[in-house]
Amino acid sequence: MPTFTSLISAGELAEHIDQCLVVDCRHELARPEAGRDSYQQAHIPGAFFMHLDEDLSSAQTGSNGRHPLPDPATLAASLAAIGLRPGRQLIAYDAAGGMVASRLWWMARWLGHDAVAVLDGGIDAWTRAGFPLTAELPTPPAPAETSWVKTGQQPVVDRQAMLENIDRQALLVIDARGADRFRGETEPMDAKAGHIPGAVNRPFTQNLRDNGLFKPPAGLRQEFAALIGDRSATQIAHSCGSGVSACHNLLAMASAGLDGAALYPGSWSEWSSHDELPVATGD
């Protein structure tokens, strides 16, 4: 089968599903168990479930954000336990336009596994196309080995680098949150409202068409080019609320051929928990 490295359509997944490791990443921030409950009721055949809080994040300390990155070895072991091995196609899906699935997409690449893609349109696109769901839980295979893992294969910036960047402006920071949260008009989850000084706003929902599918690569490339100007992708850092929806913008850029941008994993939930850090509001 061909290797998919950004997005895969429902039809393409159906054609190659027997050769793929499929992971259900459905999650609701307000109801953390909703994703697992939905998975147990009905999911794409053969799919395993990974929980955003339990599998795709590490423990919160109160100052490291709401979804800190997990230990790479722990993440690699979790993926190996459901059968990920070198070269095997990994597919992630959700019911949120790819917001959570893109987190797993980025994290697999962070471990050095490039054969990973997000199901375009998620489970809704799968069912609209007439493909089946099941409540049958897959049997985990014998765990694969993890010696192939190469940690740190995607660029990451930390809080100190983001602070220094306010003056240096070596990186353009793109914030994936909604415009009202970016401007500081509302903040339903984090310690204070606003954004990192110097950041610009591109809500991740702008990557999607009305039908929930990603915009075509050419259109995404044009939109991001208008935002970043003559900067290269390596001069971009993505942020959001907790390092999740920022991955959606990273995926959109990769789909558009603009790969190589960095992630600020702690994002606003980490930044806003430190009273000494500056906050900007407005556009």
Q: Which of 89, 83, 17 has the alpha carbon at shortest distance from 50? A: 83
Q: Are 182 and 201 in contact (CB under 8 A)?
A: yes
Tokens read off for 120: 């375009």
User: Would the CA dihedral through 175, 176, 177, 180 be positive or negative?
Assistant: positive
Active-site choice (20, 25, 240, 247): 240
Instruction: Indicate if 20 belongs to the active site.
Output: no
C-alpha torsion 132→137→138→139, nearest 10:
-160
User: Would the CA dihedral through 72, 28, 205, 191 be positive or negative?
Assistant: negative
Residue whose pair of structure tokens reads 């990920």 in the numeric block: 84
List residues with catalytic annotation.
240
